[in-house]
Amino acid sequence: WTEGKDGIVDYHIVGVYQGRTNVSADSNWAAYADVTDRVVIDLKWKLSESKLVGTPTFQNSKSEVKNPRNWEPKCQPPVLKGEYEHYELQGIKQGLGGALEVLTQTSYPVVEVVQFCSGARKSIPASRKTHTEELVVPSPVMLTMALPDSENLRVSPDKKSLIQKKAGWTWTFTPSVKK
């Protein structure tokens, strides 16, 4: 991994989200749904410095929302009046301690929720929320190590990628070098 041109490792990173998520902008009102989302990131990483090199590229996919439901199964499900976007990557920059700092945005549509299972609906306004998150880039040297099989970090069956699970996300980091 250190024999690549200028010690640079190319990373192809695929993040896939699957989870039960509140799709209401107001956390006081539960409007749950099964949400899937995906993002692809390509970047160059100077391994010896754990540092981002150049400008990364990324591609967002549209979120899929299925099975909207209330927290109480006997209550009527929420009604989404637009599209929910779980994770729209806005930018990537070098973070602290060898991590990446990623800027994301979540877009919430107007959502009608049932109040107290009474049948009366309350409209929750649409909103956009921006978040800054840390994404740790695992060293490709770990591919050569005997890691314990863990949901947190493991080597893929083909021994070419590192897979990390965190908060509903499965991140697959596939490093390569150009000599």
| Residues 106-161 pLDDT 10s | 999 999 998 888 778 899 999 999 999 999 999 998 898 877 778 788 889 899 99
What is the reported pLDDT for 6?
80
pLDDT band at 98 (very low <50, low <70, confident <90, very high): confident
Give the full edge-to-edge strand order of the sheet including 111-114.
Answer: 79-80, 111-114, 121-124
Q: What is the pLDDT of residue 173?
A: 97
Tokens of 138: 């695992």
Buried b (16+ CB within 10 A) or exposed e, 84-108: bbbbbbeebeebeeeebebebebbb
- Please count the other Cβ atoms lying within 10 Å of the Cβ belonging to residue 67: 10
- For 23-76, the pLDDT digits (tens) are 999 988 889 999 999 999 999 999 989 999 999 999 999 999 999 998 888 889
Nearest Cα neighbor of 88 from 123, 121, 131 is 131
Q: 132: which 2 tokens?
A: 């800054």
